[in-house]
A and B are shown apart, each in its own frame.
Chain A
Amino acid sequence: MSVEVGDDDEIAVAWENAEPDALERAYRRWGGLVHGLARRAVGPDDADDVTQAVFVSAWRGRTTYDRGSAPLGAWLVGITRRRIADQLRARQRQAPVAQEQDDVPDDAAWTAADSTDLLTVYEELERIGDPQRRIILLAYVEDLTQREIAERLDLPLGTVKTHTNRTLARLRTLLGGA
Chain B
Amino acid sequence: MNETDRYAERPAGDPTPGRAEELLQRAGDLSPAPEGPLWERIQAEVDGVGRDELEARRRAGGARTRRRVGRWPLLAAAAAGALVAWVGTQVVGAGAPRDEIVVADAALSDLPEAGATVDGTAEVVSVDGERRLRVQLDELPDTGEGYLEVWLLRPDVSGLVTVGVIADTTAEFSLPATVDLQEYPVVDISREQLDGDPSHGGTSLVRGELHTADAGPGEPPPAATDDLTSTSSTDREAYR
Interface 9-residue window, one of A8-16, A32-40, A87-95, A96-104? A32-40
Total contacting residues, chain A, CB less than 8 A: 50
Contact residues in A for B232 (Cβ distance below 8 Å) = none
Contact residues in A for B1 (Cβ distance below 8 Å) = 145
**B interface, size bucket:** 35 or more
Q: Given the known A-B contacts A118-B27, A146-B6, A164-B7, are A171 and B34 also in contact in the complex, defined by CB atoms under 8 Å?
A: no
Bound Cα distance A166, B38 (Å): 37
B41 at interface (Cβ–Cβ under 8 A)?
Answer: yes
Bound Cα distance A24, B32 (Å): 15
Contact residues in B for A160 (Cβ distance below 8 Å) = 8
Contact residues in A for B59 (Cβ distance below 8 Å) = none
A28 at interface (Cβ–Cβ under 8 A)?
Answer: yes
The 0/1 profile, CB within 8 Å of B marked 1, for residues 128-170 of chain A is 0000000011011111011100000000000011001100110
Contact residues in A for B26 (Cβ distance below 8 Å) = 109-110, 114
B217 at interface (Cβ–Cβ under 8 A)?
Answer: no
Contact A147 B42 (CB under 8 A): no
Contact A32 B33 (CB under 8 A): yes
A79 at interface (Cβ–Cβ under 8 A)?
Answer: no
Chain A: minimal CB distance from B15 (Å): 13
Contact of A32 among B18, B23, B31, B36 (CB under 8 A): B31
In the complex formed, the residue of B with least CB distance to A119 is B23
Give the one of B7, B39, B42, B45 with max A CB within 10 A. B42
Contact A165 B11 (CB under 8 A): yes
A65 at interface (Cβ–Cβ under 8 A)?
Answer: no
Contact B45 A56 (CB under 8 A): yes
Q: Given the known A-B contacts A52-B38, A145-B1, are A178 and B18 also in contact in the complex, defined by CB atoms under 8 Å?
A: yes
A46 at interface (Cβ–Cβ under 8 A)?
Answer: no
Contact residues in B for A60 (Cβ distance below 8 Å) = 46
Chain A at the B interface: SS class: helix
B52 at interface (Cβ–Cβ under 8 A)?
Answer: no
Bound Cα distance A70, B31 (Å): 20
Contact of A31 among B10, B18, B20, B34 (CB under 8 A): B34
Contact residues in A for B19 (Cβ distance below 8 Å) = 117, 172, 175, 178
In the complex formed, the residue of A with least CB distance to B34 is A35
Contact B23 A147 (CB under 8 A): no
Contact residues in B for A161 (Cβ distance below 8 Å) = 8-9
B30 at interface (Cβ–Cβ under 8 A)?
Answer: yes
Contact residues in A for B30 (Cβ distance below 8 Å) = 32-33, 35-37, 122, 141
Contact of A33 among B8, B31, B38, B42 (CB under 8 A): B31
Contact A52 B5 (CB under 8 A): no
B195 at interface (Cβ–Cβ under 8 A)?
Answer: no
Contact A142 B29 (CB under 8 A): yes
Q: Given the known A-B contacts A27-B39, A52-B42, A145-B1, are A137 and B23 also in contact in the complex, defined by CB atoms under 8 Å?
A: no
A59 at interface (Cβ–Cβ under 8 A)?
Answer: yes
Contact residues in B for A146 (Cβ distance below 8 Å) = 5-8
Q: Given the known A-B contacts A24-B240, A31-B33, A145-B5, are A175 and B25 also in contact in the complex, defined by CB atoms under 8 Å?
A: no
Contact B21 A31 (CB under 8 A): no
Chain B: minimal CB distance from A25 (Å): 10
Contact of B20 among A52, A55, A171 (CB under 8 A): A171
* Chain B residues within CB distance 8 Å of chain A: 1-2, 5-11, 14, 18-21, 23-34, 36, 38-39, 41-43, 45-46, 67, 237, 240
Q: A117-B23, A118-B24 are in contact. List 8 more A-B contacts (CB 8 A).
A: A27-B33, A28-B33, A51-B38, A51-B42, A52-B42, A60-B46, A121-B24, A145-B1
By Cβ-Cβ distance, the 8 closest A-B pairs, closest first, are A36-B30, A171-B20, A140-B24, A35-B34, A164-B8, A178-B19, A161-B8, A118-B23
A to B CB contacts below 8 Å, 16 in the list: A28-B33, A32-B32, A32-B33, A32-B34, A33-B30, A55-B46, A59-B46, A117-B20, A117-B23, A136-B24, A140-B21, A141-B28, A145-B5, A160-B8, A172-B18, A178-B19
